[in-house]
Every structure is written in C-alpha cells, then in structure tokens.
Amino acid sequence: MATPITPSVRYYRRGTTKVLWIPAIANKNAPTRDEINAGTALEGETGAMAGWQTTSAVQPVAALGSRFTPVVGAEITAAESSLTFWASKNGVDVRTLLTREAVGFVGWMDEGDVPGQTMDVYPVTVTSQAKVRELDNAAQIMAQFAITSEPAENVLIPAA
C-alpha cells in the first residue's frame, strides 16, 4: 500500500498572508531579514490580487517510430499580476510608494512571516497605477506589475 500524502493544516488566507514591497534584494533565492525589514507591508491596504503564479508550457517531442506524441516541459511564464489597494481621499496612498516604473520585488509569505517557512519572491517593475472607477464600491488603485525574471519560489524566510 502506498504511503498517503501528509495531511495539510488548512488555513484562511485573510489575516495570515503577508505581501511585501521590497525595494532591493541581492539574491532573490535567499533574501536577508534586513532586506525584508526594509520593505513595506502591503496586506493592510490590499483589497484584491490577481496573478502571482507561474505556469509551464509543454513541447511535443514526436518520433517517427511511434504514433504516440510525448511532451516535455518547456518555457516557464508568469501570469499578468496586479495588486488592488484602497484609495485615500487625500491622495496619500499606494500611489506614493508604487510609482510607475518602480523596480523592486514583491514578496509573498502565504503562511505569514514565520522564520523557517517559505516565501515567493517576484522581481518586478510597476507598469501602471490604474484608478478603479465603479459606481457602488469604495475607491481603489490597481497597481499592475511586469514580472521581469523567474520568481524565486519556496525560499526560506530568514530568522528575525
């Protein structure tokens, strides 16, 4: 009999997940605590998010000797990604931090800032600050991001 997968400890993302704007990281595969602490915690003003995941394409590798066409993993891409924030009536909000063409990193600590657990680090450029205009919702700003190189996934969160 096969060994069953380890049961997950399920959790609710709101109130747990941390998302950070980190201006500089020397090695995205091993961010330091000082680099993380120099960042800005965004989750308190984040009203929505989209993207922030990688996908892999496949490439067919047919051979004349078989009618079956196997595939191999090919390019890795990142989804179009954005964070939507609450806008402030006085204009002092995320627009002062995530300016168009700002370069940095978005760090995702899905299970919280817990040393020894993992985080994902996305190298990004801010591409826009779109004002979300809807009749019956509170005002929001959507920051869109270009993911500029392969994200570092499941890297260890350093000790405090």
**Per-residue pLDDT, 160:** 83
**Per-residue pLDDT, 31:** 98
C-alpha–C-alpha distance, residues 78 and 63, integer Å? 30
Structure tokens at 53: 């995941």
- Write down the pTM of the prediction: 0.91
Show the low-confidence residues of the chain (pLDDT under 50): none
**Per-residue pLDDT, 108:** 98
**Per-residue pLDDT, 18:** 98
What are the phi and psi torsion angles at 115 (to 5°)?
A: -55, 140
Strands 71-78 and 81-86: unpaired
Residue recorded with tokens 């595939």: 71
